Structure 1
Amino acid sequence: MKYAIPLLTVALLTACAEAPAPAETDAAQSNLTYPETRKGDVVDTYFGRQVADPYRWLEDDRSAETGAWVKAQNELTFSYLEQIPYRDSIRERLQDSWNFERLGAPFKEGDYTYFYRNDGLQNQFVLYRQKDDGEPEVFLDPNTFSADGTTSMASLSFSRDGSLAAYAISEGGSDWRKIIVIDVETGEQIGDVLEDIKFSGINWVGNEGFYYSSYDKPDGSALSAMTEQHKLYFHRLGTPQSEDQVVFGEKPEEIHRYVGASVTRDDRYLLVSASVSTSGNKLFIKDLENPEAGFTAIVETPSHDVSLLTAEGDTLYFLTNRDAPNRRVVMANAANPQPEHWQDVIPETNHVLRASTGAGYIFANYIVDAVAQVQQYDLEGNLVREIELPGVGSAGGFGGKADAEELFFSFANYTTPSSIYRFDPHTGESELFNRPETNFDPANYTSEQVFYTSQDGTRIPMIISYRNDLERDGTNPTILYGYGGFNISLTPSFSVANAVWMDMGGIYAVANIRGGGEYGKAWHDAGRQLNRQNVFDDFIAAGEYLIEENYTSSDKLAIRGGSNGGLLVAAVSTQRPDLFQVAIPAVGVLDMLRYHTFTAGAGWAYDYGTSEQSEEMFEYLLGYSPVHNVREGVNHPATMVTTADHDDRVVPAHSFKYAAELQAKDGGENPQLIRIDVNAGHGAGMPVSMVIDQAADVFSFILYNMGYSELPR
């Protein structure tokens, strides 16, 4: 069975001061001498229109000139941060707040029960195991994988009987992985380390071996060159990787950008998902008991999403948005698995459905105005019960083996640390299994949901969290966070950083803007391609609401987002620079004319469109692309772009080029800086020490540029 590694939920914006409000100063407004950034003469032509790309040379992550530019930019940024008098105090506060034990939900494999644990400040979670009521022992400790904690365990999967474990590691945050197989009793490695694996699961067949996915290593830079043809391989234990055969993805009709596998738990059927973008997939099935059998198409066109949820013998259960924009669960016989034979198990409702299975049941986890409601069904689709959750927030888990006697789920919101509950699937009773001991008391905080109106009249939800004694007098330092893309829903979660921010009198607001998945496919579609401006308008309207309702003011409003959210922050910064005081675009997609030419970026075209798609699409992208819309002489918000040198998801060239444009064209005195982590990637697996350092720097930058000269005592 496969298990996700616990991720530290971190908003890299924190605060570190008690009321009363600190003194304000103009110290943040100072002229900086930026490193010289050479302008080249590259010009591209799109549909007869010429577009200059003077910083194209920064796309070469292997050149000495780019390396020197990165070094010079970091020297400037860190010299600026070092002058902030309370930066070290913030870091100390973060370390103190982070230093508490965190546990993951236990799971059973073979003769052992496993669980993840972090004692507080460990860079990576440690995997423990124990037999029955025996003493826990360390099974895998990723903190020993590298001296600086930058090598992480990215995924883990056990063979059917639990006697073997395969785990993937990421070095320096890269999406390229290595897979190592060990004997769980002895800890000895089985066979060679598998290398150059990317965007892959580990799907066992008995104890024989497993399926994994990867691309051919590209010519040029492994961190930025395009990766187009994803292939599914089978690795048989005891054989070298060079002998692994391509199972799917080599024939012309099988070429796709993303290919993944599922194996039914009886090892009877292999299902392969194939897609060219991040939305929509084809689905194929193969009978593993018939060596001569080929693949049979279940869904032949990638117009919708469909995935295997579970299987009982020849009965397959799928989660899909085909003919159900909010998703439904259907079942079909493996002999006739095509859509015309599907039968509803859990029909579509007015709310977006996420689902998991365990103990022979299906758990329907609905998103209702961005918060969770969970219902338990049997495999025939009969409602067993609605599960009472500990409060209003997000619930996850409820997954496990079909014969499990108990399951576990987690619950959290913006003011409640993530806690684990033990759940009896037969009685519906739940009990607290673990609640972390922190210095944060949820009773002292409020998390309220409001609805505001966007420019076109659309009603948008937003959750605003703050300390109970906060006064809405328009002076509160506020962080507005958003994402708005790829059908991803921002549901309530707890982070140490946000807790510190609120504890110090700050407001943390999350807008559930269009482009996400909070209200199903229609909400997603309303924010993609030629509708992308809706996403920006929704976020701008959120900022205006916070000001109009006297939560904050423009000079106390910071915006933050990462990846697609980095695009959001940079785009609204160029469109409404007057509305925000500080902008923190993290690992953002910022060059919308060329994003699809790097790594797997072409797979994002469903959301963005491409500059070669049509003249209309080109003009639309050019109209909001942050790199191309930094205006000469405009006073932009104080900006600190953040990225990392090993980000091969959204390559750092996006951030490099945007920062260069800001430094060359900004007409005000606000700093326009870029902070580049070394030996780090898109964010997953980042060691705690690095997360804390970045959080301290980001928050110092925000407070300093809101005019705070000191932290109150």
Structure 2
Amino acid sequence: MDARFGGQAIGDRFFMFTNYEAPNGKIVEVDLKNPEMKNWRTIVPETKATLNGMSLAGGRIFASYLEDVVTRIRMFDDKGKQLREITFPTLGSASGINGRWKEDEAFYSFSSYGQLATIYRYQVSTGKQEVWARINVPVRSEEIETKQIFYTSKDGTRIPMFLVYKKGLKLDGNRPTLLYGYGGFNSSLTPGFSATAAFLAEQGGVYAVANLRGGGEYGEAWHKAGMFERKQNVFDDFIAASEWLIKNKYTNPSRLAISGGSNGGLLVGAALTQRPDLYQAVICSYPLLDMLRYQRFLVARFWVPEYGSAEDPKQFEYIRRYSPYHNVKKGTKYPAVMFITGDADTRVDPLHARKMAALLQASTASDRPILLHYDTKAGHSGGTPVNKQIEDLTDSMSFLMWQLGMLNN
């Protein structure tokens, strides 16, 4: 049976989350004395929002949903009647509720782009909640605002985007702005603490995250809309986000940077070759850039079900149209670019970044730098020590601040 199941038992009653015959998820009650499927009773039916899970505490059922890319936790009684929804301090992501069925207190963790993970104590009977524990770091979360907007992509599709900035930001069309995206492999970019976002906000800049097609924010249909011959939708969504930021006076092309890694490196590689006029700077990390040959190196053949392969003549045509390496045009004024890769990358072969850096250096007509940040001992699969992570982030942010004119602030 191709479905997910999970739940908790209270006496002879088993409350179960499942996506069986309900792609977005539902909660059913199973009588353990008569557990046959025909006796299952749906108590929380499927909705348009995706049900990620459920838990039991204080005699109540808590259902955790992903709705427009943010967490919603709704509380139901044991018959399925909704009683209330938990309120959060800002847009963000929360863990499921944890507690005991016969006790009135429960706990959950919440984070957002400007707020580190914070544990809250929740009183089930009244809805009262308070901070139980938080990490003590020098980030002024109360001064950082997280906003969600929706914009229209090239084909009319409605795309969500998060904006993070310091409260009271003046929209003068000149804010240094970093736009981040991924758009692939059914991966959802949900809000969570970002040191980069907090730093840019404190410096008077804007951090933006576009929830592009190809991700999992709205289920498998959203994912499929950014696969194979529809991959250009992902790039169109990202370019439209850039244009929205400019049109709505957050920034302008001389103060707009983009960043992405792995599949996101392909994304920003496509954006810089298709619309070099939109960007001042690009950070392109561990990227796939030669899409006509990518499947020949390391583990990339496992990604053919996402992109297709140029070895198939029909797929060759659409891959060739967007492959960043094959769309570099000599004499074009390209933005400043920092490619990041390393010898220890066992997933995306560093040859992509090396050859693209060389080609852009030989082809660009602008005086903006094309750099290759190359590490002989690191890759993109994590595992680097904290001091190395700090060093790498410092290099990236220094590059952005240099290119976006922030060093004089």
The answer on 1:551 being equivalent to 2:246 is no
Taking a change above 3 Å as real, the CA distance of residues 594 and 432 of structure 1, as seen in their structure-2 partners, is: same
Query: Residue 231 of structure 2: SS of its match in structure 1?
Result: helix
**Would the aligned equivalents of 1:592 and 1:625 in 2 still touch at CA under 8 Å?**
yes
**Would the aligned equivalents of 2:144 and 2:198 in 1 still touch at CA under 8 Å?**
no
Q: Read off the aligned partner of 2:340 and give its amino acid letter.
A: T
What is the CA-CA distance between 1:538 and the residue it aligns to?
A: 0.9
Determine which structure has the larger helix proportion and give its number. 2
Taking a change above 3 Å as real, the CA distance of residues 573 and 444 of structure 1, as seen in their structure-2 partners, is: same
Query: Residue 353 of structure 2: SS of its match in structure 1?
Result: helix
The answer on 1:452 being equivalent to 2:157 is no
**1:440-589 correspondence to structure 2 within 5 Å:** 440-589=139-288
Q: Read off the aligned partner of 2:408 and give its amino acid letter.
A: L
Q: 2:134 corresponds to which residue?
A: 435
The answer on 1:657 being equivalent to 2:355 is yes
**Would the aligned equivalents of 1:598 and 1:651 in 2 still touch at CA under 8 Å?**
yes
**Would the aligned equivalents of 1:485 and 1:514 in 2 still touch at CA under 8 Å?**
yes
**1:98-247 correspondence to structure 2 within 5 Å:** none
Q: 1:696 corresponds to which residue?
A: 394
C-alpha deviations, 1:31-51, integer Å up to 9, x for none?
xxxxxxxxxxxxxxxxxxxxx
Taking a change above 3 Å as real, the CA distance of residues 468 and 398 of structure 1, as seen in their structure-2 partners, is: closer
Q: 2:408 corresponds to which residue?
A: 711
Where do 5+ consecutive residues of structure 2 fail to align? Answer: none
**Would the aligned equivalents of 1:325 and 1:522 in 2 still touch at CA under 8 Å?**
no
**Would the aligned equivalents of 2:292 and 2:320 in 1 still touch at CA under 8 Å?**
yes
For 1:639 and 1:400, how far apart are their aligned partners in 2?
A: 45
Q: Read off the aligned partner of 2:287 and give its amino acid letter.
A: G
RMSD: 3.3
For 2:16 and 2:356, how far apart are their aligned partners in 1?
A: 46
Query: Residue 682 of structure 1: SS of its match in structure 2?
Result: coil
Q: 2:84 corresponds to which residue?
A: 386
For 1:618 and 1:343, how far apart are their aligned partners in 2?
A: 50
Q: Read off the aligned partner of 1:702 and give its amino acid letter.
A: L
C-alpha deviations, 1:534-582, integer Å up to 9, x for none?
1111111111111111111101000011222111111111110111110
Taking a change above 3 Å as real, the CA distance of residues 424 and 471 of structure 1, as seen in their structure-2 partners, is: closer
What is the CA-CA distance between 1:700 and the residue it aligns to?
A: 1.2
2:113 to 398, 401, 414: 414
C-alpha deviations, 1:621-668, integer Å up to 9, x for none?
121122222222222111001123322233333323332332333333
What is the CA-CA distance between 1:456 and the residue it aligns to?
A: 1.2
**Would the aligned equivalents of 2:153 and 2:237 in 1 still touch at CA under 8 Å?**
yes
For 1:331 and 1:601, how far apart are their aligned partners in 2?
A: 43
Taking a change above 3 Å as real, the CA distance of residues 399 and 471 of structure 1, as seen in their structure-2 partners, is: closer
For 2:191 and 2:346, how far apart are their aligned partners in 1?
A: 28
For 1:554 and 1:678, how far apart are their aligned partners in 2?
A: 34
Taking a change above 3 Å as real, the CA distance of residues 402 and 438 of structure 1, as seen in their structure-2 partners, is: closer
Taking a change above 3 Å as real, the CA distance of residues 494 and 340 of structure 1, as seen in their structure-2 partners, is: same
C-alpha deviations, 1:290-329, integer Å up to 9, x for none?
xxxxxxxx33xxxxxx334346599794643x65443445
What is the CA-CA distance between 1:342 and the residue it aligns to?
A: 7.8
Identity of aligned residues (%): 43
Give the TM-score normalised by structure 2: 0.86
Q: 1:347 corresponds to which residue?
A: 45
Query: Residue 584 of structure 1: SS of its match in structure 2?
Result: strand
Q: 2:6 corresponds to which residue?
A: 309
**Would the aligned equivalents of 2:27 and 2:42 in 1 still touch at CA under 8 Å?**
yes
For 2:300 and 2:73, how far apart are their aligned partners in 1?
A: 35
Taking a change above 3 Å as real, the CA distance of residues 645 and 329 of structure 1, as seen in their structure-2 partners, is: farther
The answer on 1:629 being equivalent to 2:327 is yes
For 1:332 and 1:634, how far apart are their aligned partners in 2?
A: 64
What is the CA-CA distance between 1:383 and the residue it aligns to?
A: 4.4
What is the CA-CA distance between 1:345 and the residue it aligns to?
A: 5.5
Q: Read off the aligned partner of 2:351 and give its amino acid letter.
A: A
Structure possessing the higher relative contact order (Cα contacts under 8 Å, 6 or more residues apart): 1
For 2:162 and 2:318, how far apart are their aligned partners in 1?
A: 31
What is the CA-CA distance between 1:699 and the residue it aligns to?
A: 1.3
**Would the aligned equivalents of 2:270 and 2:324 in 1 still touch at CA under 8 Å?**
yes
Taking a change above 3 Å as real, the CA distance of residues 324 and 699 of structure 1, as seen in their structure-2 partners, is: same
Query: Residue 484 of structure 1: SS of its match in structure 2?
Result: coil
**1:256-335 correspondence to structure 2 within 5 Å:** 298-299=1-2, 306-310=3-7, 317=16, 319-320=18-19, 323-329=21-27
Query: Residue 4 of structure 2: SS of its match in structure 1?
Result: strand
Query: Residue 639 of structure 1: SS of its match in structure 2?
Result: strand
For 2:184 and 2:79, how far apart are their aligned partners in 1?
A: 31
For 1:610 and 1:453, how far apart are their aligned partners in 2?
A: 30
Taking a change above 3 Å as real, the CA distance of residues 325 and 660 of structure 1, as seen in their structure-2 partners, is: farther
What is the CA-CA distance between 1:400 and the residue it aligns to?
A: 5.5
1:674 to 358, 372, 391: 372
For 1:601 and 1:402, how far apart are their aligned partners in 2?
A: 45
Q: Read off the aligned partner of 2:354 and give its amino acid letter.
A: F
C-alpha deviations, 1:66-85, integer Å up to 9, x for none?
xxxxxxxxxxxxxxxxxxxx
C-alpha deviations, 1:251-298, integer Å up to 9, x for none?
xxxxxxxxxxxxxxxxxxxxxxxxxxxxxxxxxxxxxxxxxxxxxxx3
For 1:342 and 1:675, how far apart are their aligned partners in 2?
A: 57
**Would the aligned equivalents of 1:393 and 1:491 in 2 still touch at CA under 8 Å?**
no
Query: Residue 578 of structure 1: SS of its match in structure 2?
Result: helix
For 1:452 and 1:681, how far apart are their aligned partners in 2?
A: 35
Report how many aligned residue pairs link the two structures: 404
For 2:55 and 2:152, how far apart are their aligned partners in 1?
A: 38
For 2:337 and 2:66, how far apart are their aligned partners in 1?
A: 34
Taking a change above 3 Å as real, the CA distance of residues 448 and 711 of structure 1, as seen in their structure-2 partners, is: same
Query: Residue 171 of structure 2: SS of its match in structure 1?
Result: coil
Q: Read off the aligned partner of 2:269 and give its amino acid letter.
A: A
For 2:112 and 2:387, how far apart are their aligned partners in 1?
A: 24
Where do 5+ consecutive residues of structure 1 fail to align? Answer: 1-297, 300-305
**Would the aligned equivalents of 1:326 and 1:521 in 2 still touch at CA under 8 Å?**
no
C-alpha deviations, 1:14-68, integer Å up to 9, x for none?
xxxxxxxxxxxxxxxxxxxxxxxxxxxxxxxxxxxxxxxxxxxxxxxxxxxxxxx
For 2:36 and 2:255, how far apart are their aligned partners in 1?
A: 55
**1:580-619 correspondence to structure 2 within 5 Å:** 580-612=279-311, 614-619=312-317
Taking a change above 3 Å as real, the CA distance of residues 645 and 403 of structure 1, as seen in their structure-2 partners, is: farther
Taking a change above 3 Å as real, the CA distance of residues 438 and 608 of structure 1, as seen in their structure-2 partners, is: same
Q: Read off the aligned partner of 1:478 and give its amino acid letter.
A: T
Q: Read off the aligned partner of 1:620 and give its amino acid letter.
A: Y
For 2:207 and 2:190, how far apart are their aligned partners in 1?
A: 14
Query: Residue 66 of structure 2: SS of its match in structure 1?
Result: strand
Taking a change above 3 Å as real, the CA distance of residues 677 and 425 of structure 1, as seen in their structure-2 partners, is: farther
- Structure label with greater radius of gyration: 1
Give the TM-score normalised by structure 1: 0.51
**Would the aligned equivalents of 1:371 and 1:394 in 2 still touch at CA under 8 Å?**
yes
